[in-house]
Every structure is written in structure tokens, then in C-alpha cells.
Structure 1
Amino acid sequence: MSVFVSPVSLKDKQNKKSAKEKAEKAENQETSHDHQLYASELKDAVLFPESGGQPHDLGIITIGGKRVPVRQVLKDKLTAVHVTTQPVPVGSLVTLKIARRLSDPEIAEVAAKINDIIVLNKHIVVHTPYSHGNDIDTSHIPEDYDLSQGIVRVVLIGHIDANPCCGTHLTSTGQIQGVSLLHQVKIRSSNSCLHFVCGLRVPEHLQMFHRLLNDVLGMQLSCQIEEVGLKLLEVLSSLRKAQTCKVLLLKELAVIKAAEIFRQFTEEKNVAVVYREGSGKEYLAQAQKELTTLMKSRPELGVSFDKFTLALFDGDYKSAGGMVKVIGPMAELLQKYLKKIVANLMGGRRGNTFQGKVTKYERGEVENVLQYFE
């Protein structure tokens, strides 16, 4: 971080009067403490600096609870210089946030303006000193660029934009045909990536999604396009009701299974197993919880995991695997045997509890485990 005198920007350099005013303002800033600026280099440059005709991003640096607005971001060779009116202590941990992502109305407005320019079919012309004399203003070229090592090319898009560029360009905006700004994807805190298509990809994109929507409507939703929103709400509502019903039924089954195992333990059966195909980890957790509650409610019967062993596992050959948990004095012995008959079992024991994961069941392994416990 250092005291900073704001330089003439690339945009200001194109206007000689503005450049002079900027220079005079910079001189006044040197002698005025009230307008003192500070330049900071951050480890990660999130804000895009002013470069190539594009304006810089704006954001806020947060240090503890203190908010320091970033007034300007400039490029100094390979370094992004963040200009602020308050100092940022060297070595401090900061959070840098871009003000916000674009709103849907803003995206729609930008898309409309872009397509208006395309329809106007503005000519795109490339100027060089060799073809048009030395009339090109090179004052907006960064000072660390060596102009003697190449040709300066300025691309003119009608009266809309004029900037140096080394890329290949069309001859008119009409050749773009059209631009469609799509959706935004959130990346790195408040930053976002805006997806778009242009040219022939616009109708191709429309046709692809129209076919997809027609397939969904015809085979799954059975409704008209204008009814899709309402139909999806109905489907989601039915799904939530089904999930709630499933949870309640699994809880009832877990209560019944826990009562059955508790009775077996009171009849001096040393080991019991909980498994139900397709039930998932929630069912196993609920069964263990209900059994623990029964043990605590009837301490006079002497049923506890200090004397009895419970094995819980889920998954099957067709699924991606499942979990295995063994609680009780025989956990170490059962762990060794299970690892012999289940090839992809990984896990470890802590105290009288073994917990592991099966990445994938081989054919017949689930049946072998159940047969062993029976």
C-alpha cells in the first residue's frame, strides 16, 4: 500500500482538454491531505482493471468491520492497482466484493441495445498508421507498450466505439445477426458468469430447447407450453407430500424394528441386524435412536450396548454402495469378518463402535452378510 496520485485514465487521454484538467487535479491532490489516495496490490485480483477500452470494476474492501470503497482499478504491467481514499494496512486479511450481479431487467436492457446496434448494420473499419497516415491518436496506448515493435490497429464500430485491438473483426455489426443473453452462474462469492449465444447459434439454441420442451410436455407433463409452470408446481407439491409420507412410514417401521430387537436382546440374543432394502441411512439412524430410547427407558432389564451388539447396514448390488455400522462388544470381531466377505468395505473402529462405507457391493455380498447374522 502506498500514497497514490491518480493518473490520467485511458478514456481521458483521448480528450486533450480532459487530460489537462486531470493533470491539474492530480497536482492539487499531491498537496491536499483531504483528497489523498492510496494504492493497494492484493494477492488475488478479483476486480477487473481499466484496460483495452473496458472500464474498471467497482467494489468494496472489507477489513474486520471496516468498509473501504475501491474508487478505481488500474493496470500497472501485470499488477492490478486498487485505488482507495483510505489506507489498507500491509499484510492485512481483506474481503473484496463486487457490488452485485446484474439484475434480469438490466440484462434484458443490454440485450435490447446490442440487438438494436446489430439491426442498424454499423460498418466496422480497421485503421492503421500505414493506411491512413499518422493520424491515429496513440496517447491511450499504455506506456509500457513498445509502439516500435508492431502496428497499431484501431477498430471503429460506426460512431459507437473506437479502440485498439489485435483481433480479427467483421465488416459490419449486421454480420453478427443477433445476440441472446441467457442465464448467470454464480462464481466466487458475488461474481457471476453471464452465458450468451450469438449468430446462427441463436436459432439453433431456440430449436434445441423447443424440441426438449416438446419432448417433456408430450411424454411427461401432458400439458400445453403455457401450462408448464403450473404443472411443475403440482408435481413438486406431490413430490413433497410423497417424501413426507415416506419419512413417516420409515419412522413407524424403525419403531417396530427397534421393539423387535429389544425383545430379542431381552431373550439373550447377543447380536441383531438392521437392514431394509432401499430404506437408506435415515431408517438406520431412526432404528438406532428408537432402540437407544428403549434401553434407557427400561434400565432394569440390563439391555445396553455394553452387553449386546447391533449391526446396521444399507445398500444393495444395484446401488452405489452404502454404510455399515456395528455397535457393541463384538464390533472388533464382526469388523474383521465383514471385511473378508465385503470386498469394498472401508472404515475403522473407535471404542466399541465400527463405522465404515461400502463403495460398491459385489454380487451376492448383501445376501452373505444377512445369512451370516441369521
Structure 2
Amino acid sequence: MVYKCQEDSFLKEFTSKVVTCTEAQLKTVTNGKKITISGYEVVLEDTILFPEGGGQPCDYGLLGSVPVLQVTRRGADAVHFVESALPVGKLVTQKLDWERRLDHMQQHSGQHLITALADIHFGYPTTSWWLGEEESYIEFDTQSVKPSDLDTLEELVNEKIRAANPVIVTVYKEGDSELKRVRTRGLPDDHKGAVRVVTIEGVESNMCCGTHVTNLSQLQAIKILRIEKGKKNKTNLHFLVGGRVLRQLSACLHREYQLTALLKNGPADHVNLVDKLQRSLKYANKNLQAALRDIAAYEGARIKQQVPTPVYVSHHRKEADSDFMSILINEVGDQNVLLFLTVGDDKGGQMVLHGEPATVAQLGPQVCALLNGKGAAKGPKFQAKVSNFANRTKAEELISQYLAGTSNDC
């Protein structure tokens, strides 16, 4: 069946009768979590809401005032999932999410154009494609793509857009001999009835169920982003079409304005200044680490020189790291001195409890739990990553109480 959305991809409203409405559930993902929604599957006599297929996601919109959460094709039927029941036989006005439809048409027609010219001019055949929320990609059946070919391909596709070649949809009866002359990756196993062929005039003809623009000028522009290694000796080409090109440009300009304000120089100097800042930061960090090593050695020596030698020492340094703690422990070099060391800030860091193994095994897990950490003991050292330094004072009190108790036992 050819749906109304495939007859006229620019139709934004349409009225049709409800044929069936059955209870169902929809498994989906919201905010990264899998959820199940209870609702109804509605089949209409016809629809302007495209059911997902051919690499193109489904349309969204309304049936009356009821939001459509998904549209899928089941045999010849377009099945609309909604959360409220609709009476069978009722005439319902469908309203299309036009912004989503236009975006999908631009990406899909742009994919056809890129696919055709990549094959014609460079011999890169397409095996599949994916229309993503941010960007799309085409999978080429080749191990590599020359960078110079990408530049030429981008020029070729935008030249066709400027030429405003018409995009024509023709419907053929299944088995028509004309279908042997068009590009296809095969029809779905459950396909029934007429076959649509999308023709970019002067470029190619391709079997396709998706919604498309009527003229390449409606694509506005195509930007090829990058290529990356795909699966099984394939190459993926990432691209943007139309509104996505403009949105990406706006985002880039916004970041550029922010960088200009932060760096206090023009966009042309951003790279050089950031490189200079990175080198300066690397040098500063190197000096900081050297200073911290000296401080760790000094603190360790200071502890050793105390008379009498302390039984317990607690030390925290916000800007230090695990090397600082290791140097301090090595400098003290005495398991009879219990060292409670932490490094990091309010967002978290690391802790080490070092001393006599039995004491460390007893106190380590308790201190770690207070600091909301995860770690383990090995010999004289309990080491952990922690995230709550607000309880550090409580941890010190716990250690002091334990040591006082063992001292009294003696």
C-alpha cells in the first residue's frame, strides 16, 4: 500500500477513519532508561504519518488531540501507537510534526544524492545508511575513501542542489519490467502491492518507501563531516543536510563567540593561543608535581624527626595525587606509624591508610565507608577512591578512638 504521506510528503493535515484500535504496549527508551508504556495501536484507512522504514525513522504528530508516540508498518498497515483509545469508525484529523518530517526528508533525499554520485564518480557503492538525531552516515562497501574524493563529492552534491534538479516519485505495479532498471537493495520480505521509485532527475532512480523533497533546492546544502572505519572492511561517511547544516553552523559560531570572549583574541588566533596555553599548563603542572614531591619528602622527613615518633598522622592535600602519598609513605618507612592520607577536592579523590597490617585491615573498610569509597587492603596499605571528604573529621575520630582502645588494652 502507498500511504498518503508517500503520495504527498508535504501534506501537514489529513482526515481519515479509524479502522481498528487495540490495546498494546510500547517498549521504548526515555532518558537512557528502558520503559514500557501501555496504550493502543490504531490503524486508519490512510495516514500522513510515515511508519519507520528504509532507514528513515517514523513521523510524530497528533490523531485529533492524542499524541502519536510511534508509527510502524505491519504488512500493508501503518500502526500508530497512542496512549488514549480512539473509537472505531471515527473520523480523525491527523496533524504532522512538520519540523521532524522536513528534517527527515532532507536527510533521506540528501543520502540518495550522496549515494548516487559516490557510486557514479568514485565507485563507492552504498550498503546501508542510518538517519541519526544529530547526524547521519552512509556505509560504503570499500575499505577506504580518499580525502580528495570527499572534497570533490561535496562539491558535486552541492552543485546538483544549486541546479535545482526535480525529485520525482513514480508508483509501479509489483513486477513491472521498469523496476529492473532502478537501484535497489531489495524490498522487505513482507512487502505487498505497488512499488515506489524515487528519481533524482538526471542522476538516478531508486526504489524507496521514504518521504522525500520534490526538488534538490529544498535540501539547501550538504556538509560532509568525516569518514571512519566501519564494520567488515566498510567505511562510514557522516554528513548533514539542510537545517542541520545551519544548526551546526550556529552552534559553532556560538562556541567561537564564547572562545573569543575567553581568549580575548580573534577566531583566527584561537588554535595558536590554545596551543600556547596548553603548553604553559603542561609546564606549570610539571613544576607543581615537582614541588609536591618535595613537599611529600619534607613531610615524611618531618614525621620521622619527631620525638617521640608519632603513633598516628593524618594529612590531606587538595592538589596532590597518589604519587604524593606514595612518596610520603616511603619517606616515613615505618609501619608503626599509622598514616591516614587523602588527596582531592569536594568532588572526590583518593585515600590511603598505611601502617601495621592488622590495624589497616580493621580500620580501612570503616574509614572507606565513611568517605563513601571503594577500595581494598593489601598488606600494610588500604587504598581507595572516595567521594565524600565531608566525613573526614569523623574518620579521624574513628581512628583516634580505635588507637586509644588498643592502647588501653595494652
1:271 aligned residue (300, 304, 312) = 312
Q: Using a 3 Å threshold, how does the CA distance of structure 1 residues 337 and 278 change in structure 2: closer, same or farther?
A: same
The structure where strand makes up a greater share of residues is 2
AA aligned opposite 1:200: G
2:393 aligned residue (352, 363, 367) = 367
Q: Does structure 1 residue 177 correspond to structure 2 residue 250? A: no
Tell me by how many angstroms 1:135 deviates: 5.1
Provide the residue aligned with 2:143 in structure 1: 99
For 1:214 and 1:189, the matched residues in 2 are separated by 42
Tell me by how many angstroms 1:238 deviates: 1.1
Tell me by how many angstroms 1:142 deviates: 7.2
For 1:168 and 1:347, the matched residues in 2 are separated by 55
Deviations 1:56-109 (A, max 9, x none): xxxxxxxxxxxxxxxx9999xxxxxxxxxxxxxxxxxxxxx9734x45433322
Q: Does structure 1 residue 120 correspond to structure 2 residue 163? A: yes
Tell me by how many angstroms 1:339 deviates: 5.2
Provide the residue aligned with 1:235 in structure 2: 277
Provide the residue aligned with 1:202 in structure 2: 245
Aligned residues: CA RMSD: 3.9
Provide the residue aligned with 1:280 in structure 2: 321
Within-5 A mapping of 1:30-109 = 99-100=143-144, 102=145, 104-109=147-152
Q: Does structure 1 residue 249 correspond to structure 2 residue 278? A: no
Please say if residues 314 and 324 of structure 1, whose CA atoms lie closer than 8 Å, have aligned partners that are also in contact: no
For 1:147 and 1:347, the matched residues in 2 are separated by 55
AA aligned opposite 1:357: K
Q: Does structure 1 residue 356 correspond to structure 2 residue 384? A: yes
Deviations 1:279-303 (A, max 9, x none): 2323213323444xxx4xxxxxxxx
Provide the residue aligned with 2:351 in structure 1: 323
Q: Using a 3 Å threshold, how does the CA distance of structure 1 residues 346 and 237 change in structure 2: closer, same or farther?
A: closer
Tell me by how many angstroms 1:335 deviates: 2.5
AA aligned opposite 2:288: K
For 2:322 and 2:386, the matched residues in 1 are separated by 13
User: What SS does the aligned partner of 1:169 have?
Assistant: coil
Q: Using a 3 Å threshold, how does the CA distance of structure 1 residues 370 and 276 change in structure 2: closer, same or farther?
A: farther
Please say if residues 374 and 384 of structure 2, whose CA atoms lie closer than 8 Å, have aligned partners that are also in contact: yes
User: What SS does the aligned partner of 1:223 have?
Assistant: coil
Please say if residues 272 and 373 of structure 1, whose CA atoms lie closer than 8 Å, have aligned partners that are also in contact: no
Tell me by how many angstroms 1:178 deviates: 0.7
Q: Does structure 1 residue 335 correspond to structure 2 residue 364? A: yes
2:197 aligned residue (146, 154, 166) = 154
For 1:106 and 1:137, the matched residues in 2 are separated by 31
Tell me by how many angstroms 1:157 deviates: 1.0
Please say if residues 115 and 179 of structure 1, whose CA atoms lie closer than 8 Å, have aligned partners that are also in contact: yes
Provide the residue aligned with 2:339 in structure 1: 310
Q: Please report the TM-score for the alignment, with normalisation by the length of structure 1.
A: 0.59
Q: Please report the TM-score for the alignment, with normalisation by the length of structure 2.
A: 0.55
> What is the number of equivalent residue pairs in this alignment?
266
For 1:123 and 1:144, the matched residues in 2 are separated by 24
Q: Using a 3 Å threshold, how does the CA distance of structure 1 residues 146 and 103 change in structure 2: closer, same or farther?
A: closer
Please say if residues 173 and 195 of structure 2, whose CA atoms lie closer than 8 Å, have aligned partners that are also in contact: no
For 1:190 and 1:251, the matched residues in 2 are separated by 49
Q: Using a 3 Å threshold, how does the CA distance of structure 1 residues 210 and 321 change in structure 2: closer, same or farther?
A: same
For 2:265 and 2:271, the matched residues in 1 are separated by 10
Please say if residues 273 and 373 of structure 1, whose CA atoms lie closer than 8 Å, have aligned partners that are also in contact: no
User: What SS does the aligned partner of 1:344 have?
Assistant: coil
Provide the residue aligned with 1:129 in structure 2: 172
For 2:373 and 2:215, the matched residues in 1 are separated by 64
Q: Using a 3 Å threshold, how does the CA distance of structure 1 residues 213 and 124 change in structure 2: closer, same or farther?
A: same
Tell me by how many angstroms 1:191 deviates: 6.9
AA aligned opposite 2:318: E
Q: Does structure 1 residue 110 correspond to structure 2 residue 153? A: yes
For 2:257 and 2:324, the matched residues in 1 are separated by 39
For 2:327 and 2:223, the matched residues in 1 are separated by 50
Please say if residues 326 and 354 of structure 1, whose CA atoms lie closer than 8 Å, have aligned partners that are also in contact: yes
Q: Using a 3 Å threshold, how does the CA distance of structure 1 residues 232 and 103 change in structure 2: closer, same or farther?
A: farther
Q: Using a 3 Å threshold, how does the CA distance of structure 1 residues 104 and 121 change in structure 2: closer, same or farther?
A: same
Please say if residues 314 and 323 of structure 1, whose CA atoms lie closer than 8 Å, have aligned partners that are also in contact: yes
Query: Which structure has the bigger radius of gyration?
Result: 1
For 1:259 and 1:191, the matched residues in 2 are separated by 61
Unaligned runs of 5+ in 1: 1-51, 56-71, 76-96, 296-303
AA aligned opposite 2:326: A
Q: Which has the higher contact order (CA 8 A, sep 6+)?
A: 2
Unaligned runs of 5+ in 2: 1-111, 117-124, 129-140, 401-410
